[in-house]
Structure 1
Amino acid sequence: MLNGRDPRIDFFRGLALIFIFWDHVPHNPLGQITLRNFGFSDAAEVFVFLAGYASVLAYSKVLQREGYWMACLKILRRAWVLYVVHIFLLAMLMGIVFFANSKVETRDLVQEMGLTHFITNPQQALTDELLLRFKPNLMDPLPLYIVLLLGLPLALPVLVRKPLAVVAVSLTVYLLAPRLGWNLAAIADGVWYFNPVTWQFLFVLGGAAAIHASQPRVPDTRPLRRQPLFLGAATYALLAGIITLSWRWPEVHDAVMPAALSNLLYPISKTDLSPVRLLHFLALAYVTAKLLPDRAWTQNWLAQQSCRMGRFSLEVFCLGVLLAPLADMLNAQVNDAWPMQIASALLGLVLMAGLAAWLELNKRLNQPQAQRTTTVK
């Protein structure tokens, strides 16, 4: 633990940030080893679930220690910080994309990044940006997080006392939203790519998991092979991985996939967090928690780098968003040659890890000397 933090949460947040960056660089070979290639879910589910886990873990303590209104104030303050970061990040991203587009002659990066609205109607685009309606590519996660945080004060007092009741209400909303067309408006009569009305369920599940983890419970001492829930989750995760891998060979997939199963699975909506995506992530999370029940494995050097990035997830995420179009530009300069693709992906990872290390060092230097010596590293 670091100052009361669970290093496993930080590790997987950091890993999700790496996967998000690699997934955002087109044709990146290292993007072939990210989560989305081995199941129905991807790093977005990890990001949202752990955001709910960390938020409820932090603000439930504020609720108990300082009361409801102070918890609300701190939640709203955090949402405001995220909003300001989003606005500045979008401005910086547009500048980087325009620069990258001037260096790439074979593609229109402005169009690919969804910035055409700003070119054709800049005044309306600026208004839409402030209203979180204009979200170019790579810019969807932060607005989703902002909206989910804004809803947390409504759920937090009940969640800490009766988590199952909140989960039940959240599940009902999740199931109704796609059928009733509930979503937030975006530009050009569109809707949010990450529908907050459905993704809130995963956020709530993360919060409920935090409450559950903080309560005493009797551990299940049976071997994993004798735990039906573990076996079911592992089987589902394995089958999802096999089906996902079969997408690389459409002819094979279509030949072996039963029509009834295809009708049940497809389409797999990311916007509305399709149930098969949700179940895959939950199965994967449960299996991972069972296979890695302790924290000792987070103490090795590589794991510590990911943990550090997870501790500064907002800053590292923003850097990853800005690095993705730059990496794409570098790759395009050499016709997407694979050595450059790998080099740019690894360079981005090093820069993200370097930023986290610098932020941690800066934070440590700002601490009083006595506190520095007692901080668990």
Structure 2
Amino acid sequence: MLNGRDPRIDFFRGLALIFIFWDHVPHNPLGQITLRNIGFSDAAEVFVFLAGYASVLAYGKVLQREGYWMAALKILRRTWVLYVVHIFLLAMLMGIVFFANSHVETRDLVAEMGLTHFVTHPQQALTDELLLRFKPNLMDPLPLYIVLLAGLSLALPLLLRYTAAVVTVSLTVYLLAPHLGWNLRAIADGVWYFNPVTWQLLFVLGGAAAIHASRPRPLETLALYRQPLFVAAAVYVAMAAVITLSWRWPEVHDAWMPSALGERLYPISKTDLSPARLLHFLALAYVTAKLLPGRAWTDHSLARQTCRMGRYSLEVFCLGVLLAPLADMVNALAGDAFAMQMFTALMGVGLMAALAAWMDFNKRLDQQALGRAPLHS
């Protein structure tokens, strides 16, 4: 039986949303402390993995309680909601970017955001939008989530019953996809920036982790430094941090990076979820889980706020997507002053936290109203 909601999952989903917002604002000083600057993976891997974890946790309980067809129906209903949100979010994003572009004279924000296709071919762009082929910058994670969640409606019972077999098939598809050119079509580069054929592995691994976490495990008595898997994962995370930080100084990087290692490591593809990225995220997740095994730390004030953002991840993600170009516009009008960049970065997170608090408040009101509703025979 799958367990209930884990506040640690909500916390890291909320943290990933903050990092995604900061990463989406150009020249943002706080973007220097996000995951992409200290390792091969970034917040996108966190978002997809935890999406798989939360989805299997939620709909797996529905399947166990109400059967497959009800679980599949609820998954497809959620998929439809995400699709509709994607359409409206893209329309709002385009309006904001066109507004910002009319005020910033030094840059072409429309081109930077990948909206030129809509300007030059508006009718075709509308069709491509409905088919998930037109995905401007900032919009890529949501269509990926739509496709992965739709696939879960078929894979969920198999994943619950034959977890190892499903992971094996998923891994095989992941390994074959880059060599066989498997991807979905899109405008611009011709394929999806987040290739769902490869990123599905991370989603499946998230679901497998949720299933594994629900099973009883023996208590480990060995200290962490005596656990070979933890040590190997920690060393890989540390090495990835050193290599990533060295990218800031190309001369230093080229001087100490062995050519044989560089040939095997680069390029680190985000589109196909390069093995270096995948292994880095898995190692980072494992180290984090080992260092933070309990839940007590999520009771602190800032952690609770972050957890709340994670609980309303769709709404908070959408707001972050809309706030990023506005923050970029304000920064550009202020001459990219450091103080203004810090202000917009923190203000954006504050607004995202305020939205989560408002959503939580409304949910409690609905629950109270439901509790006061008269019973009818």
Name the TM-score class by shorter chain: over 0.9
Taking the TM superposition and a 5 Å limit, the aligned residue runs for 1:95-244 are 95-188=95-188, 190-244=190-244
Q: Secondary structure at the match of 1:160?
A: helix
CA–CA separation in structure 2 for the residues paired with 1:23 and 1:263 = 28
Unaligned residue ranges in structure 1 (runs of 5+): 373-377
One-letter amino acid matched to 2:209 = A
1:247-270 deviations in Å (ceiling 9; x for gaps): 000000001000000001000000
* Residue of structure 2 equivalent to 1:15: 15
Alignment partner of 1:330 is 2:330: yes
Deviates more, 1:318-327 or 1:64-73: 64-73
CA–CA separation in structure 2 for the residues paired with 1:366 and 1:308 = 17
Q: Contact 2:247 / 2:253 at 8 angstroms: preserved in 1? A: yes
Check 1:189–1:14 CA distance in 2 against 1; reply closer, same or farther (3 A cut): closer
CA–CA separation in structure 1 for the residues paired with 2:342 and 2:29 = 7
1:38-60 deviations in Å (ceiling 9; x for gaps): 00000000000000000000111
* Residue of structure 2 equivalent to 1:74: 74
* Residue of structure 2 equivalent to 1:375: none
One-letter amino acid matched to 1:237 = V
Alignment partner of 1:65 is 2:59: no
Q: Contact 2:23 / 2:34 at 8 angstroms: preserved in 1? A: yes
CA–CA separation in structure 2 for the residues paired with 1:369 and 1:79 = 28
1:129-185 deviations in Å (ceiling 9; x for gaps): 000000000000000000001111221111111211000000000000000000000
* Residue of structure 2 equivalent to 1:277: 277
* Residue of structure 2 equivalent to 1:342: 342
One-letter amino acid matched to 1:300 = H
CA–CA separation in structure 2 for the residues paired with 1:245 and 1:117 = 35
* Residue of structure 1 equivalent to 2:375: none
TM normalised by structure 1 equals 0.97
CA–CA separation in structure 2 for the residues paired with 1:156 and 1:5 = 18
* Residue of structure 1 equivalent to 2:256: 256
Q: Contact 2:30 / 2:342 at 8 angstroms: preserved in 1? A: yes
TM normalised by structure 2 equals 0.97
Q: Contact 2:268 / 2:277 at 8 angstroms: preserved in 1? A: yes
Distance apart, 1:334 and its partner CA:
1.4
Q: Contact 2:72 / 2:154 at 8 angstroms: preserved in 1? A: no
* Residue of structure 2 equivalent to 1:90: 90
Unaligned residue ranges in structure 2 (runs of 5+): 373-377
CA–CA separation in structure 2 for the residues paired with 1:176 and 1:110 = 36
One-letter amino acid matched to 2:126 = L
Root-mean-square deviation (CA, aligned residues, Å) is: 1.2
* Residue of structure 2 equivalent to 1:28: 28
Distance apart, 1:216 and its partner CA:
1.1
* Residue of structure 2 equivalent to 1:4: 4
Distance apart, 1:366 and its partner CA:
1.1
* Residue of structure 2 equivalent to 1:266: 266
One-letter amino acid matched to 1:224 = L
Q: What is the aligned residue count?
A: 370
Q: Secondary structure at the match of 1:366?
A: helix
CA–CA separation in structure 1 for the residues paired with 2:153 and 2:300 = 37
CA–CA separation in structure 2 for the residues paired with 1:208 and 1:14 = 21
CA–CA separation in structure 2 for the residues paired with 1:74 and 1:370 = 22
Alignment partner of 1:309 is 2:304: no
* Residue of structure 1 equivalent to 2:48: 48
What percentage of aligned pairs have identical amino acids?
Answer: 82
CA–CA separation in structure 2 for the residues paired with 1:206 and 1:278 = 12
Check 1:236–1:53 CA distance in 2 against 1; reply closer, same or farther (3 A cut): same
One-letter amino acid matched to 1:318 = C
Distance apart, 1:371 and its partner CA:
6.0
* Residue of structure 1 equivalent to 2:294: 294
